[in-house]
Amino acid sequence: MRLLVDAGNTRVKWRLERSGSTVNSGADRLEEIETVPQLAEHGDAVGSIAVSTVISEENRARLVESLSRVTAAPVRFYWAESERSGLRNAYADYCLMGADRWHAMYAAWRMVRNGVAVIDAGSAVTIDYVSSNGTHLGGFILPGLNMMLRSLKSDAARIGFDPGDVRLVAPGTSTGECVNHGLAWLSSAMNDRVADDAKKHALAEVLVTGGDAGRLLDLGLVARHVPDLVLDGVGLIDAEESSA
């Protein structure tokens, strides 16, 4: 059995697999991993662990320690690369790219070979474009919804509001509406820009993943929702490396 882990800034997504089929999956906070009953139940059967992460070195050590309380399986971290199976990273220093972006792109590249845009809507929103010949055309990193809400609450004077429905784009008639509708308006504009860029770069499809994917889809994003794109990517790479 294999355990795949996507350790982000705010939560850890995981998936237990046996012979390519999902046995169980979930998303938990880092400090909760060692107490997840589904993981504890199968701990003795786990033979390997593959991790994609953007967390700090200190938190990586905490993650490994937590996993060691669940299973004795070895942990292998996978990072961004300059190239894999025809997918070529646009970064001159590929080590500076977040592993989650690379793994999401790789899964998307394996799924869509005639040009793809990849959106990962998490704590930050990342957007990457991959041409039909596997060239990473570059991308964008934007603050996510919760990051923008926190920024307005902490850094903008005299703006008091309660987080509300960030799916309406009509002009607001209260501070709360102005903030929430404004964030929806920004997201909707981003959706339109991705659609325009997809046409400009001849990208056949847009894939979206991450915790805020549903909100972007509700705001008109035309995309295929792939909830576990990062796990899919690190799983593919781990399988390739294990069979090499």
- How confident is the prediction along the chain (244 residues), in pLDDT tens digits per residue? 999 999 987 789 999 999 989 999 999 998 899 889 989 899 999 999 999 999 999 999 999 999 999 999 999 999 999 999 999 999 999 999 999 999 999 999 999 999 999 999 999 999 999 999 999 999 999 999 889 888 888 777 667 667 667 788 999 998 888 988 999 999 999 999 999 999 999 999 999 999 999 999 999 999 999 999 999 999 999 999 998 7
pLDDT at 152 (0 to 100):
85
Whole-number Å distance between alpha carbons of 118 and 209: 8
> What number of other Cβ atoms are within 10 A of residue 133's Cβ?
11
Residue 193 pairs with which residues in a beta bridge? none
Q: How many residues does the chain have?
A: 244
Rounded to 5 degrees, φ, ψ at 161 are -160, 160
pLDDT at 158 (0 to 100):
64
Give the residue numbers marked as catalytic: 100
pLDDT at 228 (0 to 100):
97
Q: Residue positions in the annotated binding site for substrate?
A: 91, 98-101, 175
Q: Residue positions in the annotated binding site for K(+)?
A: 120
pLDDT at 1 (0 to 100):
96
Whole-number Å distance between alpha carbons of 118 and 129: 6
Inter-CA distances, 202 with 62, 78, 206, Å: 43, 30, 11
The CA dihedral of 238, 210, 15, 27, to the nearest 10 degrees, is: 140
Q: Residue positions in the annotated binding site for ATP?
A: 6-13, 123
Structure tokens of 28? 């938990």
Whole-number Å distance between alpha carbons of 118 and 108: 7
Whole-number Å distance between alpha carbons of 150 and 137: 31
Domains of the chain and CATH, by start: 2-78 (3.30.420.40), 83-233 (3.30.420.40)
Q: Residue positions in the annotated binding site?
A: 6-13, 91, 98-101, 120, 123, 175
Is residue 128 within 8 A of residue 138, CB to CB? The reply is yes
pLDDT at 163 (0 to 100):
67
